[in-house]
């Protein structure tokens, strides 16, 4: 494997040569890219000697497209140490030196960062926000850990040891969670996300607790793998920043149905993760309904169209269709039945039994069942990691 090790200007940079040595010992080819400040802590000669390759540190030396050739060469990029500065730059899309430029060019392939900084800096809301942004894009964080810091205090911010970072790199290389090696460029995918709201009157609706996080993570992971994504989402506060995601915001199941059936014929595949209301009120009052004395109220509900089943009917043999299932009993048998009935290629069974899985939370635990009878069970993972696992499974 070709691994690029990026080094930024923190005291932990002195440990980077050891990380390079461990990765080479595991049989990988390594090239280094360093910021100007990193070279205050570790020398060019050291990095070139341990990697056995020229160091990339000057955006303007040796032609101006070195970041592109290194991006093409590298199969994974590991930044260790990752300072608050590089984390902030990537989160903001700034490319003003060799490493930050390489990081922005390195899309569709796995990136790992090992943050290292003073504990107050680590705790700063800007750093925490940037970390969340990067994680949302599928960048994996290793550490930091708690311990003695260069400034003499004890606290969170110590870079993980080179052995720990190397283990994370190797597990990502060998894990199904890593980004696909054949990016999905030239493909278009549809993703549905979030809840639907079914209007009762001008101020009330029937909805559910879906946050949209799983669908947004799927859209980001597909876009990071190179696909164009049409994200059709019900009401949610989430936003996307990836330029390859075209977001359409809808409210009701019928609006979601109209948008999804319109774009599906142009897509290579679709992942329907939205929690669509099965029923809607048969009538929607155009004013606020008034209380009617002490009498109860009856809502007459009618069935919504099943978007997934409709796409299953429309599907051509070249298209891939993935649905979600949330079952309370006979989970696997019911999911399998749904897969066949709705003509799906895969169904993702959400666990309701596990704490931390399902609606609203940041983590999930799933079983991916294939039409061919294949079963892949995940441990409890972040929704970003689950998204990578799903995409790697359904696009391989």
| Active-site annotation, residues | 151
Minimum CB–partner distance for residue 160 and ligand C5P (Å): 38
**The one among 306, 331, 345, 354 contacting ligand C5P by CB under 6 A:** 306
Please report whether residue 274 would count as binding ligand C5P according to CB under 6 A: yes
In this structure, what are the phi and psi dihedrals at residue 14, rounded to the nearest 5 degrees? Answer: -65, -15
User: How far apart are the C-alpha atoms of 297 and 295, rounded to whole Å?
Assistant: 7
Question: With binding defined as CB under 6 A, does residue 20 bind ligand C5P?
Answer: no
Between residues 77 and 308, which has the closer beta carbon with respect to ligand C5P? 308
C-beta of 63: minimal distance to ligand C5P in Å? Answer: 49
Q: What angle do CA 10, 88, 235 make, to 5 degrees?
A: 150
Q: Among 66-74, 128-136, 197-205, 320-328, which window interacts with ligand C5P (CB under 6 A)?
A: 320-328
Beta carbons within 8 Å of 335's beta carbon, 6+ residues apart? 325, 327, 347, 349, 367, 369
Tokens of 342: 């709705």
Q: Which stretch binds ligand C5P (CB under 6 A): 2-10, 37-45, 154-162, 303-311?
A: 303-311
323 binding ligand C5P? (CB under 6 A)? yes
Listed in sequence order, the residues at least 6 apart from 184 whose beta carbon sits closer than 8 Å to its beta carbon are 222, 225, 226, 227, 268, 395
Overall residue count recorded for the chain in this entry: 396
Does the footprint of ligand C5P cover residue 304 (CB under 6 A)? yes
Which residue, 375, 331, 322, 385, is CA-closest to 353?
331
Could you say whether residue 216 binds ligand C5P (CB under 6 A)?
no
276 is an interface residue for ligand C5P by CB under 6 A? yes
Q: Is 259 in the site for ligand C5P (CB under 6 A)?
A: no
168 binds ligand C5P (CB under 6 A): no
In this chain, which stretch among 218-226, 233-241, 300-308, 367-375 interacts with ligand C5P, using CB under 6 A?
300-308
CB of 104 closer than 8 Å to CB of 137: no
Task: Give every CB contact of residue 63 below 8 A, 6+ residues apart in sequence.
Answer: none
Residues near ligand C5P (CB under 6 A): 192, 253, 272-274, 276, 278, 304, 306-308, 323-325, 338
């Amino acid at each position: 494997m070709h691994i690029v090790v990026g080094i930024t200007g923190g005291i932990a940079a002195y440990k980077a040569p050891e990380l390079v040595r461990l990765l080479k010992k595991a049989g990988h080819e390594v090239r280094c890219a360093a910021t100007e400040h990193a070279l205050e802590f570790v020398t060019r000669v050291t990095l070139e000697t341990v990697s056995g390759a020229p160091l990339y540190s000057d955006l303007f030396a040796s032609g101006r497209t070195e970041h592109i050739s290194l991006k093409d060469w590298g199969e994974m990029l590991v930044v260790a140490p990752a300072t608050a500065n590089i984390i902030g730059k990537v989160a903001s899309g700034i490319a003003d030196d060799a490493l930050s430029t390489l990081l922005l060019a390195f899309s569709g392939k796995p990136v790992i960062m090992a943050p290292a900084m003073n504990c107050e800096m680590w705790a700063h809301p800007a750093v925490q926000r940037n970390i969340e942004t990067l994680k949302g894009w599928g960048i994996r964080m290793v550490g930091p850990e708690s311990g003695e810091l260069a400034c003499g205090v004890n606290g969170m911010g110590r870079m993980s040891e080179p052995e720990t970072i190397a283990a994370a790199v190797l597990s990502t290389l060998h894990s199904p969670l890593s980004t696909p090696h054949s990016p999905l460029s030239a493909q278009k995918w549809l993703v549905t996300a979030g809840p639907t709201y079914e209007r009762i009157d001008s101020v009330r609706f029937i909805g559910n607790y879906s946050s949209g996080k799983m669908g947004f993570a799927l859209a980001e992971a597909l876009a990071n793998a190179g696909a164009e994504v049409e994200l059709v989402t019900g009401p949610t506060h989430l936003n996307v920043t990836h330029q390859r995601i075209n977001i359409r915001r809808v409210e009701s199941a019928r609006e979601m149905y109209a948008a999804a059936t319109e774009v599906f014929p142009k897509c290579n595949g679709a992942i329907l993760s939205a929690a669509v209301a099965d029923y809607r009120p048969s009538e929607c009052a155009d004013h606020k309904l008034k209380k009617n004395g002490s009498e109860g109220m009856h809502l007459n509900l009618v069935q919504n169209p099943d978007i997934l089943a409709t796409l299953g009917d429309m599907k051509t043999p070249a298209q891939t269709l993935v649905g979600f299932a949330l079952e309370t009993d006979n989970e696997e048998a019911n999911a399998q039945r749904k897969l066949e009935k709705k003509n799906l290629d895969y169904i993702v069974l959400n666990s309701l039994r596990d704490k931390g899985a399902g609606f609203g939370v940041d983590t999930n635990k799933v079983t991916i069942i294939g039409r061919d009878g294949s079963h892949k069970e995940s441990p409890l993972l972040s929704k970003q990691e689950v998204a990578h696992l799903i995409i790697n499974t359904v696009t391989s």
